[in-house]
Structure 1
Amino acid sequence: MMAQRKLLSQQKSRLTKEAQDNKRDTEKAMRQLTSLAPEPPEWLDDTATDEWHRIHPLLEELPVASLDLMLVSTYCQAYSDYINATKRMNNSDVIIETERGTKLNQNHTIKRDALSQLNSIAPKLGLTVESRLKILEPKQDTKSDKSVYEMFGIEDND
């Protein structure tokens, strides 16, 4: 798995001025990407479409672009799968009886798989608190007005 690329504001190591400029230019270019269309893909079911309309205005606050269409639509469909499987399970047991014995209700498997997808996709889009904090963390000012002596509590007697 490839490590996620950090925004300039997320860098903990000191970057050279040139590296900072390159990163800033990249982030500026990222903000100029084509926006995610407000209308969902037609292949989403009704529940997924409702989720699209709920999160779309919120996604506009994050660096999500049209290139993220598949991630957003897959997230919405996984949400729908989870909700609909949960509703179906309200009318049946987790373990069901068959002529061959007992087995796990397939809706439980659908819920588990959908939740796994949601948990995988959500941080990539900034849909979790932790991922938003990383994306929106303000740039730290690495310069200090204190001298090296003041920073380490040493008197400059020389």
Structure 2
Amino acid sequence: MAQRKLLSQQKSRLTTEAQETKQATEEALKQLTKLQPDPPEWLDDTATKEWHRIFPLLDELPIASLDLALVSAYCTAYSDYINATIRMKNESAIIETERGTKLNQNHAIKRDSLSQLNSIAPKLGLTVESRLKILDPSKEKVTGKSVFDIFGMDDED
């Protein structure tokens, strides 16, 4: 499914009716209940710190109260990643067992948490690429040059 774009980001020509509908949808988006600054009580200390770190940034984006679960999941995945990393400082990457060696479970936690972070971050606008899609692009500069002038060609080429 193609990602929906703001009216200002549309490259195709829309009818006046389609433009009005899209504008009304964007205005309705602005009317959604804003995400509250207080983190949910179920977050641990590390996730709560991450919530407080990213909230001012999220407040600048069209993130609403409906996104609470997504923001909470991001903060929890961040907490899991940080805590597993800290535990790895005190433990070896390979654990000796009675049956041989195995990979420390904190590696799996870090891998899975990083995967979640990479999945959720673009949805919230926490990556440069995703913010560029959300925010208005700069207006294209019209040079007034023809295609022939731009590519250094003449009519006979």
Give the structure-1-normalised TM-score: 0.85
Instruction: Work out the CA distance in 2 between the residues paired with 1:12 and 1:106.
Output: 48
Equivalent runs, 1:14-53 vs 2, <5 Å: 14-53=13-52
Look up the match of 1:156. Answer: none
CA–CA distance in structure 2, aligned partners of residues 104 and 3 of structure 1? 40
Match of 2:152 in 1: none
1:82 corresponds to 2:78: no
Amino acid at match of 1:111: K
Task: Indicate the SS of the match to 2:71.
Answer: helix
Amino acid at match of 1:90: K
Shift of 1:118: 0.4
Worse-matched range after superposition: 95-104 or 77-86? 95-104
Unaligned segments of structure 1, at least 5 residues: 154-158
**Counterparts of residues 87-102 of structure 1 (less than 5 Å):** 87-102=86-101
Q: Does 1:121 align with 2:120?
A: yes
Equivalenced residue count is: 149
Amino acid of the structure 2 residue aligned with 1:124: K
**2:138 and 2:66 mapped to 1: Cα distance?**
26
What is the CA-CA distance between 1:13 and the residue it aligns to?
A: 1.8
Residue ranges of structure 2 left out of the alignment (5+ in a row) = 149-157
User: Normalising by the residue count of structure 2, what TM-score does the alignment of the two structures yield?
Assistant: 0.86
Deviations 1:89-122 (A, max 9, x none): 0111222111111111110000000000000000
Q: Which residue of 1 aligns with 2:9?
A: 10
